[in-house]
Amino acid sequence: MADDEPKQAVQAAIDGELRLLDPEVRTVPALVLELLDPEFTEFGASGRRWDINSLLTVTSSGSVSAESPVKVSEMSGVLLAPGVVHLTYFADDQGRRAWRSSLWRLTETGWRMYFHQGTLTD
């Protein structure tokens, strides 16, 4: 493994995560699908379990606000194994604050989010 491979892998996952948080990406199902693994699962901060279909239904419904993007801080990542990155960060979505965790895996078509979890906090 090259010395810069872990850094490049983490950066690729961060770039993907930030794209998924971009309101202009979230409202276009084709762009979202480019970033989600076919086996994607999420345990949302709401307690709901999401898959690709349920997530696309919500994001493409126009409920995502472009005026108030999610504010992200404390994002960090680690290469867990070749082709697997774990990210953690803090997100503030119009006062709804949550710790977030994502697993990204390298596929034949690039880095894709495999799993995501949000936990509400004060």
Q: CATH no. for residue 90?
A: 3.10.450.50
Residue 90, domain member (yes or no): yes
The verdict on residue 44 lying in a domain is: yes
Place of tokens 């990542």: 77
Range of the domain at 47: 5-59+71-120
Q: What is the pLDDT of residue 60?
A: 67
For residue 18, being part of any structural domain is answered with yes
Mean pLDDT by 10 residues, the chain (122 residues): 85 97 89 95 92 83 65 96 97 93 97 97 88
Nearest to 40 by CA among 52, 26, 32: 52
Burial annotation 40-59 (CB, 10 A radius, 16+ → b, else e): bbbebbeeeebebeebbeeb
User: Is the residue at 112 inside a domain?
Assistant: yes
- DSSP-derived letter for residue 65 is -
Helix (H, G, I), strand (E, B) or coil at 29: helix
Domains identified in the chain, total number:
1
For residue 64, being part of any structural domain is answered with no
pLDDT at res. 45: 87
Pick the closest to residue 11 from 61, 77, 81 (CA basis). 77
Exposure of 48 in the CB half-sphere (CA atoms within 13 A): 6
* 65 is a domain residue: no
pTM: 0.89
| 66 occurs within a structural domain | no
